[in-house]
């Protein structure tokens, strides 16, 4: 907010401060550094690295490659990695049982990354969708996603992640009451230092499209004859903003240490309101579709790729974010000179 009364033109010429790089740097209001990034990473159960076609430059990584990537994050000054699993289709079931497997690919990746680079924070998605054959984030009964039955599974999942050495649990399911349940379970199991970053205001969004390909969960969740449940029954309506404040308030009272808005760029108005209303460490997720849009336009020569990456990430800082979860993290850190 502008506090000073403005001198009239020509005493005030706003362009004076824009005339050289040094003046622009001197008066810059927000700064983007590698410390602002949480690197969004997909781990798979096989060997090596597998490109994700709809996300040029993003690959699914084996557990061993994740460990190397953790060292890379450390070298680049990226504070944390968020890990998302790609699970073989035959291991999925209606309840997402694999989500709570202590020997599953997420827990193995967490251990490998913490061994390789203990200084890098590891965040795990607490959600069932990579593990369910229907692609939903919850247990379904009669076409409805059951809230409380889902929470029980999320708690089991969160506990094995914490046991594996995960530093931050990030519930992305949007069930009511899951933050309190996770916090209680963590305290009860002696994991009082494990943090919770809640996907507090998470919207039902078309921008998650490429992620579904990346984790192999198909184009589900829109409500169809075969699969009547709809992600819109748990994720937020994109038209709403007052409701976002209620969601965030709820998660803070339940014990969230940090809150997140998702998707990112189309929801910066929500970020700003959350920052102003709660003054909590607030993050945004620059999701797969946002990544794909920039890369597709740049691939066609319609955008300057490097400038678009940094400008898009800088927008989150300008909006008041403490940091941003992004697939661009290593690339952007290098562009920033890391
Ligand atoms: C679901 C989850 C999703 C993403 C992260 N966790 C997809 C969804 O809610 O349908 C999307 C991430 C992205 O698009 O990059 N638990």
pLDDT tens track for 181-220: 999 999 999 999 999 999 999 999 999 999 988 998 865 5
Question: What residues does 285 pair with on adjacent strands?
Answer: 325
The string of pLDDT tens digits covering residues 50-81 is 999 999 999 999 999 999 999 999 999 999 99
Q: How many helices (H) and strands (E) does the chain have?
A: 11, 12
- 70 to each of 80, 81, 102, 116, how far by Cα in Å? 9, 7, 20, 7
Residues 61 and 263: their CA atoms lie apart, in Å, by 23
Instruction: Give the list of residues 6+ apart from residue 188 with CB closer than 8 angstroms, or none.
Output: none
Residues 118 and 112: their CA atoms lie apart, in Å, by 10
Instruction: Give the list of residues 6+ apart from residue 102 with CB closer than 8 angstroms, or none.
Output: 160, 163, 164
pLDDT average, residue stretch 266-270: 98
Q: Which residue in the list 202, 219, 232, 317 is annotated as catalytic?
A: 202
For ligand 1, atom 11, the nearest C-alpha belongs to 208
Model confidence band, residue 4 (pLDDT cutoffs 50, 70, 90): confident
Question: Which of 42, 52, 84 has most ligand 1 atoms within 8 Å of CB, for mutation?
Answer: 84
The string of pLDDT tens digits covering residues 212-239 is 889 988 655 455 555 557 899 999 999 9
Instruction: Give the list of residues 6+ apart from residue 106 with CB closer than 8 angstroms, or none.
Output: 43, 83, 85, 124, 161, 164
The pTM of this model reads 0.96
Active site residue 3: no
Residues 262 and 125: their CA atoms lie apart, in Å, by 13
**pLDDT, position 221:** 46
Average pLDDT of the residues of the chain: 95
Residues 158 and 125: their CA atoms lie apart, in Å, by 9
**Backbone φ, ψ for residue 205 (5° rounding):** -135, 140
The string of pLDDT tens digits covering residues 283-303 is 999 999 999 999 999 999 999
**pLDDT, position 230:** 87
pLDDT average, residue stretch 150-179: 98
Domain map (residue ranges) of the chain: 36-337
Q: Is the peptide bond before 263 cis (omega within 30 degrees of 0)?
A: yes
Q: Under a CB-based contact definition with an 8 Å cutoff, are residues 140 and 146 in contact?
A: yes
User: Please, where are the H alpha helices in the chain?
Assistant: 21-26, 63-76, 105-116, 147-164, 178-188, 209-214, 242-254, 268-278, 288-299, 305-319, 329-335
Q: Write down the CATH superfamily of domain 36-337.
A: Aldolase class I (3.20.20.70)
Cα–ligand 1 centroid distance for 130 (angstroms): 9
- 153 to each of 51, 198, 213, 267, how far by Cα in Å? 31, 17, 24, 29
Active site residue 202: yes
CB atoms within 10 A of CB 8: 7
Question: Which of 41, 106, 127 has most ligand 1 atoms within 8 Å of CB, for mutation?
Answer: 127
**pLDDT, position 317:** 98
User: Please, where are the H alpha helices in 233-302?
Assistant: 242-254, 268-278, 288-299
């Amino acid at each position: 907010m502008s506090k000073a009364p403005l001198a009239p033109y020509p005493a005030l010429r706003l362009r004076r401060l824009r005339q050289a790089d040094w003046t622009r740097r001197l008066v810059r209001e927000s700064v983007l550094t590698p410390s602002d990034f949480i690197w969004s990473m997909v781990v798979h159960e096989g060997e090596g690295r597998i490109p994700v076609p709809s996300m040029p430059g993003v690959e699914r990584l084996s557990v061993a490659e994740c460990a190397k990537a953790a060292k890379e994050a450390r070298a680049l000054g990226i504070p944390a990695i968020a890990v998302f699993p790609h699970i073989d289709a035959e291991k999925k079931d209606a309840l997402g049982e694999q989500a709570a497997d202590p020997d599953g690919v997420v827990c193995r990746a967490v251990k490998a990354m913490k061994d390789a680079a203990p200084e890098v924070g590891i965040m795990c998605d607490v959600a069932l969708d990579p593990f369910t054959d229907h692609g939903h984030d919850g247990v379904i009964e009669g076409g409805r996603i059951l809230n409380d039955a889902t929470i029980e599974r999320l708690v089991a999942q969160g506990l094995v992640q914490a046991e594996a050495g995960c530093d931050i649990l990030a519930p992305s399911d949007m069930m009511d009451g899951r933050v309190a349940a996770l916090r209680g379970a963590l305290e009860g199991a002696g994991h009082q230092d494990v943090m919770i970053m809640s996907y507090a205001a998470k919207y039902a969004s078309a921008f998650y499209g490429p992620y579904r390909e990346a984790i192999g969960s198909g184009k589900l969740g829109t409500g169809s004859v075969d699969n009547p449940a709809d992600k819109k029954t748990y994720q937020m309506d994109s038209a709403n903003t007052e409701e976002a404040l209620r969601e965030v308030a709820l998660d803070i009272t339940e014990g969230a240490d940090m809150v997140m808005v998702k998707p990112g760029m189309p929801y910066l108005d929500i970020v700003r309101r959350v920052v102003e209303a709660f003054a909590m460490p607030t993050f945004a997720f620059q999701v797969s579709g946002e990544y794909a849009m920039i890369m597709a336009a740049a691939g066609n020569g319609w955008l300057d790729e490097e400038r678009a990456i940094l400008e898009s990430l800088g927008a989150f800082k300008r909006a008041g974010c403490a940091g941003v979860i992004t697939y661009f993290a290593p690339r952007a850190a290098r562009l920033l000179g890391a």
